[in-house]
Structures are given as structure tokens and as C-alpha cells.
Chains A and B, each alone.
Chain A
């Protein structure tokens, strides 16, 4: 009887840590990537500053939305896929930008 209980407990602890890592460092990385990447896809507007101000302005909202999503997504694998996918997408945009590509 004790072996299944130990397995269940260790699985629960592992799932909790997986969620902490998702809602903590990964969400932080993803939100920073979205803020930086948005500079490339938000139009600068007539004043020439929208692509700088709006991504920073929306950063608290983006981080908070991703944080709560990471806390409440029932399927943690899907949470990793979505947060990781968004991070990867903006990492690719950053890599293309630093290699000389422009939109």
C-alpha cells in the first residue's frame, strides 16, 4: 500500500513544481519576449512612439493574464505548449531581427 501512496505524492510534488516553473520564470520570459517582439509588429503610428509605449503599457496586463492562465490551466502540458510556443515565436522574431531582417 505504501508504494502507490509514495508514487502519488511524488507525482503531486513534481506537478506542483512544474506549475511553479511555468507560472514563474517561463511566464516572465514569455511576457518579456512579447513586450520586445510587439515593438516589431505594433505600428509606430503618426507620433512614432506607439511601438515603444504600447508594449510597455500592456506588459502588466500580459504578464498577469499569462500568470493566471499558467495557474489554472488544467492540462499543464498544454500550458507549457502555449507559453513555450509564444516564447519561441518571439525568440525567432528576435533572432531574425538581430540577423538583419526587417518587417
Chain B
């Protein structure tokens, strides 16, 4: 039992409710899209699977592709090169420089290439700001759209990330206040009154919320850090410590690998560096970053995937001019430090990237549970206030967002495949599908007698259609996939079909909610601030 005076409990309950209500619907959107973001790599591979015998993107053989591409790029974009695999293990390289926007934020501007892994030729070339290029590169369109929805709700920088950061802080407040208002926390972990259907939904909210408290704190803490780092943390620190300039901080993050020497020099064989890095770490490379391409002080940073016992990737530095191994470096800074390690842990913990698909599946399930807690909390809150017109309308909005969002997300995927089949840019189609689905869901809530049932049925139909549409729009079929190393595409198809069956089953079950006059559970009922 957590001892709190009745007045403090009432205040805490008011904080729990009123911190949640203004942002809870957005929190729900962030949680559901976060479930997708956990599997962003798999979604990219699923939506743009590329069949054919080819070496892995960062296998030896890419050096000549980079050298050929560099010759076609304006030398001012040789300041830095980022090389990494994208959707379907396509090889992507971005030659760029860092510019400072009028608002003081630093952004990357340059030329991006997709290479054919079989013969190294350039498949596509883009020039512009990094975010615009990534959006225009069709193979990762669907995964990027979903990740951007999670990270910034598609609101322009910096406002979107500030908003998701604020949502993270609100989740922290909701979680801590939720913990403190439990009169009997241990009992709440196990209380499910199955024989009283109208109390079951309240008990499920309390049980799911209680078990998820540690995970909610973890997500809220890491999420607000990741969202606020660039749009809030960097400018504030720059004001205090660096006269308002953010560029010096980037130099500290990179931890200057080699002494400055702008003398032109040809690049050494990067393939040989990748082979050496593999032999040192025993794992495979995740990405390669090259600083000062074509100069005597060129540095090649090879980031290796972490082994099974570590969350942090290993990073090796090589001289780009002579290919010599220079040092092992942390991901951030010039030497291992608490800050650098913490930064790497946070990313791995937030997205469940520490034990392959198993940890991602666990994170997906926990985030699903949290999304359920958020939605059921809102439904309980509005149900208790049905007598008030405003809360009754807010209850309709909750149904609209809660059950309309899965329809909208499935519609985005459908639009992506249809745009690809039509040979047009997918971003506009996905955005249009998202808003169209939102409008149709709103009309359903307005006109239908049981909008929840119809929206769940629509979700089931769309999810069931996606594997077929993926195949009909040019994706590989199951027989083609069976013999390849892309079995994961079949796994995602099956997961969608399971999701469709679950949504269909849920649509046929009525939602049992407590009457406003029902007796309270062991969790104090939400109350307006007194």
C-alpha cells in the first residue's frame, strides 16, 4: 500500500487525468505508430523486397561504387559520406555537407545514391536536403512515413518533435501519478473480476497499466530524450556553452579522428577495411561513415552491429588515405564516456534493438499493451461523464481516433502499393490515404450506430487485403520467397492475416463498459480536480 492522504490522492488523481486528457489521443497515436517503428527495418524489407542473387549491401565490393559516384558529385559534398543498407538491403550512400539554417539548426544537404548490389551501378540519384531525399527514395517510403508519424506526427521540424517530446513527459507524469494513486498496487496486479463483465474493462485497464508501469517509464524517459535532444537540448546547451553555435557540438560528437590535412589524396580500398573490421569484431557492419572524402585526413568509421552480449555497436576508425587501422572509437565522442554509452543505450532500449526479432516482438507487445491502457483509460474517463455533453462528444472522438487509426495505418500501406503499381510518387498518395481514412472514420463515427464494430471490420478487411495487394503490385510471391533468404516477408504477411482475424473477432464482441454509478475498483476512480 502506498500511503497518501485523501487530499493528496485526489490531487494525484486529478494530475493523472488532466495530464493525460489533453495529449492522450496523440499519445495513443505515438504508441501505435511506435509499435510499427520497432519493426521499421522489417516493414521496409517487406514493402520493397528485392529478389536476386546479390551480396549483402555492406559486403566487400562497394568500394568501386563509391569511388565512381564520388567522381560525379560536387566536391563541396565530399565533407561527409554516410553508407548504409536501406529497405530490402539496398546499398545507399549520401555524400553531404552540414549547413546551418537561419533558425540555427544544422541540416545535411547533398547527393544520395542507390546502387545495384549485383554490379555496383547507380540505380537512382537524388540531390537536396537529406529528409527530402529520403522521402523521395521510394523503396523506404512506407517505413519512413510510419517512422515520421511516430517521431514527429508529420508536423514540420522542430514543432513535431517538440510535441512528441512533450507527450513523452506527459506519459512520465501519467505513469508516476498512476503508480501513486494505487491504494493496493500488488492486489491490482492480479485483480480481474471476470464474472462482472462491466467491471472487467476497468480491471483490465488497471492490471495492464500496473504490469506496464516500468515499461511506460522506460519508454517515456527514452522517448522524451530522443525527441527533445535536437530541437530543445542542442539549442539550449549551445546558448549556454557555445555562444549559440551548434556546429562545435557536432565536432565533439564526431571526436575528430585524424589531424586536419586538406591535401588531396585518393581513397584507399574501403572493402579491405570492411574485411579487417569483420575479423576484429566477429560481427557484420551496420554502416560506414567517411569524413573528408578524397583528402589526406579522410577517416573511415565502420560501425559494427553489437554482439549478443552488448547493446552498443563497435566502431573502428581507418585512415581513408592509406587504409591503416587507427583506433576503436565509441559512437559519440573521442573516447568511451558515460554520455556516449548512455546515448547508445537509450536508442537500443527505446526501439527494442538488443536481442534481434525476439526483443522487438516483446517491445511490440508491451507497446500494444500500453496503447490499450491509453485507449481504455480514455473510454473509462469519458464513460463516467456521459451526462456531460462535452465529455460525450469527446467519447466519440476517442472512438474515432482509437479505432480509426488502425484503418488509417492500413490505408497508408495500401496507398503505398497502389502508388508503386501506378508508377507515381508514393508520399502524396500515403498522405491522402491517411487523411481520407481519417475523414471516412469520422463520418462512420457520426453516422453509424456502432462505429467501433465497423471500424474494426474495416481494419480486418484492409489487413487481410495487404498481402495480396503487395503481391499484385509487383512484390514477390510466396513460392518465390520460400527458396530465398526473404522468409521474413512471409512472416509479415502471416502477421497481417493474424491481425485481420483478431480485428474481425474483436468487431463481433460488444464493448462492455461500467455504468457511471458502478462501485469503484481498487484503483481510485478518476475525478475532476476539486
Contacts and interface: CB of A to CB of B under 8 A. Distances in A.
A60 B232 CA distance: 12
Contacts of A4: none
Nearest to B229: A56
Contacts of B221: 60-61
Contacts of B168: 60
A55 B339 CA distance: 9
A47 B225 CA distance: 20
B228 to A, nearest CB: 7
Given A46-B335, A48-B334, A71-B11, 13 more contacts: A32-B236, A36-B236, A37-B240, A45-B333, A47-B337, A49-B252, A49-B333, A50-B338, A51-B339, A52-B249, A55-B237, A72-B11, A94-B239
Nearest to A45: B337
Interface secondary structure of B, over-half rule? helix
Q: Give the top 5 A-B pairs by smallest Cβ distance, nearest first.
A: A47-B333, A47-B337, A53-B339, A56-B233, A36-B240
* Interface footprint category on B: 35 or more
30 contacts: A32-B236, A35-B236, A36-B239, A37-B240, A39-B240, A40-B240, A46-B333, A46-B336, A47-B255, A47-B340, A48-B252, A48-B334, A49-B253, A49-B255, A49-B340, A50-B337, A51-B339, A53-B340, A54-B342, A56-B234, A57-B346, A59-B228, A60-B221, A60-B224, A60-B228, A64-B176, A68-B173, A71-B15, A94-B239, A98-B243
Interface string B228-251: 110011101101110100000100
Nearest to A94: B240
B172 A64 contact: yes
Contact of B225 (A52, A60, A68, A94): A60
Contacts of A61: 221
A64 B169 contact: yes
B181 to A, nearest CB: 13
Contact of B237 (A39, A68, A71): A39
B433 interface: no
Nearest to A61: B221
Contacts of A93: 240
B332 interface: yes
Interface in B334-369: 334-340, 342-343, 346
A68 B243 CA distance: 32
A69 interface: no
Contacts of A50: 337-339
A60 B255 contact: no
B330 interface: yes
B8 interface: yes
A80 interface: no
B333 A56 contact: no
A59 B340 CA distance: 16
A67 B221 CA distance: 15
B37 interface: no
